[in-house]
Amino acid sequence: MHTLQQHSLRQGALALLLAAGGLTPALGATPTTDPLPSWNEGAAKRAILDYVARVSDEASPDHVPTPERIAVFDNDGTLWPEYPVPFQAAFAVDRLRARAAAEPTLAADPMVKALLAGDLAPLMAGDRHEGLLHVIGLTHAGLTVEEFQAAVAAWMESAEHPRFKRRYDRLTYQPMQELLAFLRANGFKTWIVSGGGADFMRVWSERVYGIPPEQVIGTTGRTRFELREDGPALVKTLDHLFVDDKAGKPAAIHQFLGRRPLACFGNSDGDLAMLQYTTVGNPRPALGVIVHHTDGDREYAYDAHPKGTGRLIEALAEAPRRGWKVVDMKRDWADVFGGDPGEARKSP
């Protein structure tokens, strides 16, 4: 054991040494490589690079010790699209469609009827996401965590986004993927703080974003522990539902992390409280960033869209006063989804 362990430690150390010498491009921060190649040169990119340099540089007066380099990211609309509905809602509708034929009671539910007829409006109705939560209740509760995880994984393998004709997990924003990697290469711990379901995101967060399940904060219901014949089970419920949105985001960050973040990335008024919590009066040099959906050609342009998720009015108005950086997707991003740009279709 000891020999092997020492061997692998030595290998790891050698790899680090090589990376530090710039011989491999594995760490995003090597001097000759642009760590954010999908970002156009401009104020947003410059502000992010400068900020990371300042807090990472031990000689800088703004240097921050690594344990406090916590970056929190909203997911829907910040790391991947949320328009016209969050991807998790697409998953729920697909589940309903598959079950409705065999379950007449389910098929008779007025919202299920509307959804299966192609009317997504009721899904996005309600100030507190009542529509979404109704559908989440119908499709998520009662399953064990393992059953639910298997369903999410199978859906992710097979489902395709109607406009972009790609698997949903291939629709993450390439510039944000680069940013995640760049922050981690500079000692940041990256967290997701999303209104999406924690159980939904954790199935693929590590594979897709390099973010392990224990750094994913999301909407949760309490699970019920049962010791069954074949082992322990955790059954999903909507009891003690915690919706990780708006003022719930700082509360959840405190509950899970117990520290104030140093950097916060969001795209909507649902992220306003989290942006305030991160940056206002923070004795550390904090960073707030808003991803502004301005690109109807390559993605969507919808900031003041009055319904559903993704509404961005208050946070945008507050940005100049707070010093938050606004990323204009159209202007600031050279690439949106990575890979074949021809796959993106015109907005309907």
Single-letter amino acid, residue 272: L
Q: Which of 280, 297, 314, 331 binds a copy of itself (CB under 8 A)?
A: 280
345 near a copy of itself, judged by CB under 8 A:
no
Q: Which of 125, 141, 145, 313 binds a copy of itself (CB under 8 A)?
A: 145
Among the candidate windows 78-86, 98-106, 153-161, 272-280, which touches a copy of itself by CB under 8 A?
272-280
Residue (17 or 154) nearer to a copy of itself, CB: 17
Residue (126 or 212) nearer to a copy of itself, CB: 212
Beta carbons within 8 Å of 179's beta carbon, 6+ residues apart:
36, 48, 265
Residue (128 or 224) nearer to a copy of itself, CB: 224
- Cβ 71 vs Cβ 189: under 8 Å: yes
Q: Which of 117, 157, 158, 225 binds a copy of itself (CB under 8 A)?
A: 225
The site map against a copy of itself for 27-46 (x = CB under 8 A) is x-xxx---------------
340 near a copy of itself, judged by CB under 8 A:
no
d(CA 127, CA 246): 12
Residue 192 β-bridge partners: 73, 216
- Closest distance between a copy of itself and the C-beta of residue 32, in Å? 9
Q: In this structure, what token pair is assigned to residue 150?
A: 């298997």
Residue (16 or 154) nearer to a copy of itself, CB: 16
- Closest distance between a copy of itself and the C-beta of residue 204, in Å? 12
282 near a copy of itself, judged by CB under 8 A:
yes
> Total residues at the site for a copy of itself (CB under 8 A)?
66
- Within positions 50 to 89, which residues make up the interface with a copy of itself, using CB under 8 A? 53, 56-60, 67
- Closest distance between a copy of itself and the C-beta of residue 91, in Å? 18
26 near a copy of itself, judged by CB under 8 A:
no
127 near a copy of itself, judged by CB under 8 A:
no
Q: Which of 104, 258, 320, 348 binds a copy of itself (CB under 8 A)?
A: 258
Binding stretches for a copy of itself (CB under 8 A): 1-2, 4-10, 12-14, 16-17, 19-22, 27, 29-31, 53, 56-60, 67, 145, 186, 198-199, 202, 206, 212-214, 216, 220, 222-225, 227, 230-232, 234, 240, 242, 247, 250-251, 254-259, 273, 276-277, 280-282
